[in-house]
Structure 1
């Protein structure tokens, strides 16, 4: 990958975002042409061990962003580990998605100068609403708007899938596999081979996917975590898609299978479109932009793949906990989800229980 390497201070000398606010304000003045920038409030948002997100209340006098603004500053945590994407790369993906018509927080400014905050960061528009999966799938006040929300989710995903390789702004992404499904199967199988314990249901699922995999499709940009919990909804409408660090070239049907997999429906297990609504409403939105048609056997295939992938992630999270590397109850509980995922894999592949 053609990626520039930045040299950051060590954690011991790295300033916090709160400490860097005066320099950040000066940087915003320079970039927007403002005569004055006042950051009245900077609030650390919850979640994210690898990245930090700060909600900034900013007033600018003059310049291109004159007036009151609500922005999010996204950067690496001081003690963060190597991530799948740098902030510059994530900014580029967001910019491409925004320009393609996907509903994402508008990326505004990228700062790669370590003298400003000690680390790379970018500024994007703040979104209103909630991303809580349990709330979105349980809230009855959303019922009259669920069809329209699912349609919006379909339109946004189809717009993202319009982005195809090669792309001048996304040269850092790994080359797409000739057969995305087979590449996923090989990756998951290779991980299982590193474990001391056996997982016959997962091995069964992988072999079933290998024998039943559909013909490969022309690759496009996929989100790889497009699900309820990773998008914001305000007043029943989609405000934007979050968490882009896993994006890459792949099969668009993987995103559809991931969104519709039972494991991501939370309190709405009978609503196939992410627990928030009907599959037909989601597909009507998707097909208003894309000619891709996904039949039931193909959708089932990618739902099996979704449960396999989530099962592998659950094993990895549990290993982080059991090895003593991270004392996190969330990681430990994630590992205990495995039986539910295995049961769904068997049901989807037609194994009588």
Structure 2
């Protein structure tokens, strides 16, 4: 069974924060577990700081390790470094506050960041009755934000832990996913077919940039129809910028709004126009189906890995069990994409 998630120790956290922020005292006035967090755990904190670098009333999110994780997820110190780079690049990421690597404080490394307004709940966003009114503008804004992130190119001070692809970025992904698939206990011929197709149809690569690598509906916050924060930087990597665009467009992240290619919130053109307005790069529309196949393949493998954790008895949860039976949906999406693209 999954380990029980316990609230961070209030007094230990207050003492550490007072010292780290140079405050006379820090009082946590409210704390609550936020929804989601299958891979990472998030706690909403309200606090009062007496002096220091963040005086007065504060609204934070404490982000730490969940009882389960996957191997491609960065640790908290690495994610904090990525968040700092994104925030300094002008991306609407939550403002990073402080990092703690001392596990004696709450039992796990953690960091604090500013708490965004609104909701990140994907189905709530894509089912909003006003989506037709705010969706295109939201998509354009998301395109602009992604373009700002993609202006960050290696080498980047503080991100030495992120490998820079040697050779074609797509081949790096193909090799990784083939290795991931090989260790799964059952055969998956559609996914093997997809890997072979991706290897045979690699597009001309773009210059490598800093990618969010999980840029999708569900990982940004919307407040009254407007973007308030881009979340979940735990998979960021250096890669081809079109990988981020293809992931955002993948059918598996449209949450039932299949006709709205931009994350289930709008058609794709407003998003691409926003992206091109900031990046100055014309996105090759003909290449995007390739990266959508890559996205569907990646999510199918992650779903199978999560299901195997449950099936093997390593961690038995309903969420992992349900994830494990999702791969046929992605396989169908892959076959449909390849049929159109060839």
* TM-score, normalised relative to structure 1: 0.88
**Residue 40 and residue 216 in structure 1: after superposition, are their counterparts in 2 closer, same or farther (change >3 A)?**
same
Tell me the distance in 2 between the aligned counterparts of 1:202 and 1:124.
38
Match of 2:192 among 195, 203, 207: 203
Total equivalences in the alignment:
337
Match of 2:337 in 1: 348
Which sections of structure 1, spanning at least 5 residues, go unmatched? 1-11
Structure 2 counterpart SS, 1:191: helix
Alignment of 1:163-242 (within 5 A): 163-242=152-231
Structure 1 counterpart SS, 2:335: helix
Q: Are the counterparts in 2 of residues 133 and 266 from structure 1 also a CA contact under 8 Å?
A: yes
| 1:116 CA displacement | 3.5
| 1:105 CA displacement | 0.8
**Residue 267 and residue 80 in structure 1: after superposition, are their counterparts in 2 closer, same or farther (change >3 A)?**
closer
Tell me the distance in 1 between the aligned counterparts of 2:202 and 2:102.
46
Match of 1:337 in 2: 326
Match of 2:44 among 52, 55, 58: 55
Q: Deviations over 1:258-296 (max 9, x none)?
A: 000111100311111000112111111111211232223
Match of 1:304 among 293, 302, 308: 293
Q: Are the counterparts in 2 of residues 18 and 42 from structure 1 also a CA contact under 8 Å?
A: no
Q: Are the counterparts in 2 of residues 220 and 250 from structure 1 also a CA contact under 8 Å?
A: yes
Which sections of structure 2, spanning at least 5 residues, go unmatched? none
**Residue 189 and residue 117 in structure 1: after superposition, are their counterparts in 2 closer, same or farther (change >3 A)?**
closer
Match of 1:140 among 124, 129, 142: 129
Q: Deviations over 1:229-281 (max 9, x none)?
A: 11111111111111111111111101100000111100311111000112111
**Residue 110 and residue 190 in structure 1: after superposition, are their counterparts in 2 closer, same or farther (change >3 A)?**
closer
1:325 aligns with 2:275: no
Q: Are the counterparts in 1 of residues 38 and 68 from structure 2 also a CA contact under 8 Å?
A: yes
Tell me the distance in 1 between the aligned counterparts of 2:296 and 2:39.
24
Match of 1:255 in 2: 244
Alignment of 1:275-294 (within 5 A): 275-294=264-283
Q: Are the counterparts in 2 of residues 148 and 281 from structure 1 also a CA contact under 8 Å?
A: yes
**Residue 22 and residue 265 in structure 1: after superposition, are their counterparts in 2 closer, same or farther (change >3 A)?**
same
1:94 aligns with 2:49: no
Match of 1:110 in 2: 99
Q: Which moved more, 1:225-234 or 1:52-61?
A: 52-61
| 1:330 CA displacement | 2.1
Moved over 6 A (4+): none
Tell me the distance in 1 between the aligned counterparts of 2:179 and 2:51.
56
Tell me the distance in 2 between the aligned counterparts of 1:35 and 1:196.
56
* TM-score, normalised relative to structure 2: 0.91
Tell me the distance in 1 between the aligned counterparts of 2:278 and 2:340.
36
| 1:76 CA displacement | 2.6
> For the aligned residues, what is the CA RMSD?
2.2
Alignment of 1:33-52 (within 5 A): 33-52=22-41
Structure 2 counterpart SS, 1:57: strand
**Residue 342 and residue 70 in structure 1: after superposition, are their counterparts in 2 closer, same or farther (change >3 A)?**
same
Q: Are the counterparts in 2 of residues 233 and 239 from structure 1 also a CA contact under 8 Å?
A: yes
Tell me the distance in 2 between the aligned counterparts of 1:185 and 1:325.
27
Structure 2 counterpart SS, 1:166: coil
Match of 1:5 in 2: none
Q: Are the counterparts in 2 of residues 138 and 267 from structure 1 also a CA contact under 8 Å?
A: no
Q: Which moved more, 1:49-58 or 1:293-302?
A: 49-58
